[in-house]
Structure 1
Amino acid sequence: MSRRRHEEEHEEHDEGKERWLVTYADMVTLLMVLFIVMFAMSTVDEKKYEQLKEGLAVGFGRQQSILDGSNTATSDQGASQAGASSYEMLLAQVPTAQRTTVTKILEESDRLRRERSYGDAQVEVERLLKVWRKIDKALRHQGLRDDVRADIDERGLVVSLVSQHVVFEPNVAELTDRGRRVVDTMAPVLKDLTEPIELDGHTNQEKVKPKYFPTDWELSLARAAHVLRRLEEVHGIRAGRLRATGFGHTKPLVDPALAGSQRVNKRVDIVILSQAPAETRALLGEAFHALGENLSAAHLTLQEDRP
């Protein structure tokens, strides 16, 4: 009896010794998954790298991932595609249950990141609307409100000089007297800002060669440069904040097939460039239109623009 009891105690003792193997096996499995993920991140393209990095941070209940090193993504398209392929292959080697969990983490991270970006976009839209209200008030005080249209898109706040009283005469790159009044009225608000300002010149879609310029590209750029010079030379806005771009006839504001559209499409856009992150800027238009506020409610319509 004593011998049998001793043998049973010995077996129980041996079983206790082997329990550590369960923990060890779990640790080895987790290490394998970790190394697979680390290798995948070393070859994956930038988008998947950021997704996985943030996904792991969210999954472990942290606001930021500890993986804050520099990106190893390459700009070469072929290498990027190969990295994405390697990522998918390595992820497929993870046990199904864990792979599903990682996928859910990435999806949840995507959703949370978009929600954060959309919230930031709403805040940025509200800030740009405050700027617009100042411009709107100044223009209304001078009786010039109907000479512009305004919108918010992925670039920022866009104020377009579109009235037939403001836009340039045919083939000419200089503003009319009324056009100069509009720019002069907006200038004090623009000067108080810190954001860069882009002047985008546009021509209409009439297939006529400009009289004083080789093509409509030069004409549209000259119009933008004319407004830029007025903002700098007359109103003292720092040149480093200003840049001029010409788009020729390539970006009509309204459908060229509509009657009166040519007078509207011949314009200069004054763009207050948002400095929000790219992911936030991409949602500015969506956030603005979701507010249901129409900046162009009082703008010059095509019907009013007809003689």
Structure 2
Amino acid sequence: MTSARRAGGRGHEDAAHDEPDERWAVSYADMVTVLMCLFIVLYAVSVVDETKYDQLKNGLAAAFGQSQVEGGGDLTEGLVIPPELLDDDGVRDVAARAAQELDGLEKMRQQITDALASQGLQDTVDFVIDDRGLKIGLVGAETFFADNRADLSEKADRVLALIGDVLAASGNQISIEGHADHRAAVAPFESNWELSSGRATKVARYLVEQKSIAGTRVQAVGFSDQRPIVAGDSPEDLAANRRVDIVVLSGADEQVRSLIPGLVQAGTQS
């Protein structure tokens, strides 16, 4: 009986060893899948238009505060994956909304440009689109204000009337920001704070009172001489710093707005 049991036991063990172990197939399938994905990505990268890829890479790098990536070095350093390779719907959605927001700001800029050009006033303002929105710079304070005064000139009325028509049709919040050069203000202003604030307030009141823009959409801010755009004492430098900016604030969330400067930069390089 003992011999029979032992023989039966050995037969059961031999049968178990004869069955193939298929656990290796799972690991093998995973490895094949990874390799396939790798080759797909490598092929996709190889067919990307290099010029457009560089523009997008450097543009988005600027949006995230990175320097442009030059040739050489580690290819993965500073790499921005092109949209064709992104599968995340959230990333695509943010990029699409940023492009849409930029398009709206550019259309507003063009409307203002066309309106001013119709009256020969296109050289009285300049524009900047950034992560805040559309900044309309009133070029040369003397065009809009008398020296050391906050009262609007006749030309300022004409320019603001045309700008105000476009702004009234939008729903954006508007920030009017006054700046002064570094020279000390004289009477009736105690300092450049009062002078810059007074000019910003005059522009804000014009938009509210003459163009019926809701006061809840407008704010007036004076920065004195604390935010110069150029350094120097030449008449040109002083005039550049003595300015009023009308900023049409973007209503998009911060994540969307942070991409706008990069998109602007990529567009200027195309």
**Structure 1 and Structure 2 fold alike (TM over 0.5):** yes
- Deviation, 1:120, is 3.4
* Alignment check: 8 A CA contact 1:163 1:263 kept: yes
Contact 2:185–2:195 (Cα < 8 Å) also in 1: no
Q: TM-score normalised to the size of structure 2?
A: 0.65
Give 1:211's match in structure 2, choosing from 165, 179, 187: 187
Deviations 1:245-283, CA, capped at 9 Å, x for gaps? 111111223344555121222111111100111122123
Aligned partner (choices 120, 136, 143) of residue 143 of structure 1: 120
Contact 2:128–2:135, Cα closer than 8 Å, also in 1: yes
What is the CA-CA distance between 1:162 and the residue it aligns to? 1.3
* Candidates 124, 147, 150, aligned match of 2:101: 124
* Residues 1:233 and 2:235 are matched in the alignment: no
The letter of the residue matching 1:181 is R
> Kindly tell me: are residues 188 and 209 of structure 1, through their superposed partners in 2, closer, same or farther at Cα, counting changes over 3 Å?
closer
Corresponding letter in the other structure for 2:265? H
Correspondence for 1:282 = 258
Confirm whether residue 273 of structure 1 aligns to residue 232 of structure 2: no
Residue matched to 2:167 = 190
AA at the equivalent of 1:276:
A
**Cα distance change, pair 173–14 in 1 and its aligned pair in 2 (3 A):** farther
Q: Aligned runs of 1:170-181 on 2, under 5 Å?
A: 170-181=147-158
Q: SS in structure 1 opposite 2:225?
A: coil
Match of 1:248 in 2: 224
Identity %: 32
Q: Is the 8 A contact 2:141 2:242 kept in 1?
A: no
Distance 1:123 1:262 in 2: 37
Q: Secondary structure at the match of 2:194?
A: helix
- Secondary structure of 2:146's counterpart equals coil
Query: What is the CA–CA distance in structure 1 between the aligned matches of 2:129 and 2:261, rounded to whole Å?
Result: 6
What runs of 5+ residues in structure 1 fail to find an aligned partner? 16-106, 294-307
- Give the match's secondary structure for 1:292: helix
- SS of 2:268's equivalent in the other structure is coil
CA distance 1:138–1:5, change in 2 (3 Å): farther
Question: How many residue pairs align between the two structures?
Answer: 201
Q: CA deviation at 1:285?
A: 2.1
- The runs of 5 or more residues in structure 2 that have no matched partner are 18-79
| Root mean square deviation of aligned Cα | 3.0
Q: CA deviation at 1:163?
A: 3.0
- Of the structure 1 ranges 280-289 and 177-186, higher mean CA displacement relative to structure 2 is found in 280-289
- Give the CA deviation at 1:241: 0.6
Kindly tell me: are residues 14 and 268 of structure 1, through their superposed partners in 2, closer, same or farther at Cα, counting changes over 3 Å? same
Instruction: Work out whether residues 125 and 139 of structure 2, in 8 Å CA contact, stay in contact via their aligned partners in 1.
Output: yes
Q: Which moved more, 1:241-250 or 1:1-10?
A: 1-10
Residue 172 of structure 1 aligns to a residue whose secondary structure is coil
Please report the TM-score for the alignment, with normalisation by the length of structure 1.
Answer: 0.58
- Give the 3-state SS of the residue equivalent to 1:160 in structure 2: strand
User: In the alignment, is the contact (CA less than 8 A) between 1:200 and 1:246 conserved in 2?
Assistant: yes
> Offset at 1:225?
0.9
Q: Which amino acid aligns with 2:261?
A: G
Q: Does 1:162 align with 2:133?
A: no
Aligned CA distance change for structure 1 residues 163 and 12 (closer, same or farther; 3 Å) = farther
Contact between 1:151 and 1:159, CA under 8 Å: does it hold in 2? Answer: yes
Cα separation, partners in 2 of 1:252 and 1:7, compared to 1, 3 Å: same
Q: Secondary structure at the match of 2:187?
A: coil
C-alpha separation between the residues in 2 aligned to 1:8 and 1:222? 102
Select which of 221, 231, 240 maps to 2:197.
Answer: 221
Q: How far does the alpha carbon of each residue in 1:192-231 deviate from its partner, in whole angstroms, 9 at most, with x for none?
A: 001101101111122x233212211121111111111111
**Inter-partner Cα distance in structure 2 for 1:257 and 1:14:** 94
CA distance 1:256–1:290, change in 2 (3 Å): farther
* Map of 2:30 onto structure 1: none
Whole-Å separation in 2 of the counterparts to 1:162 and 1:182:
11
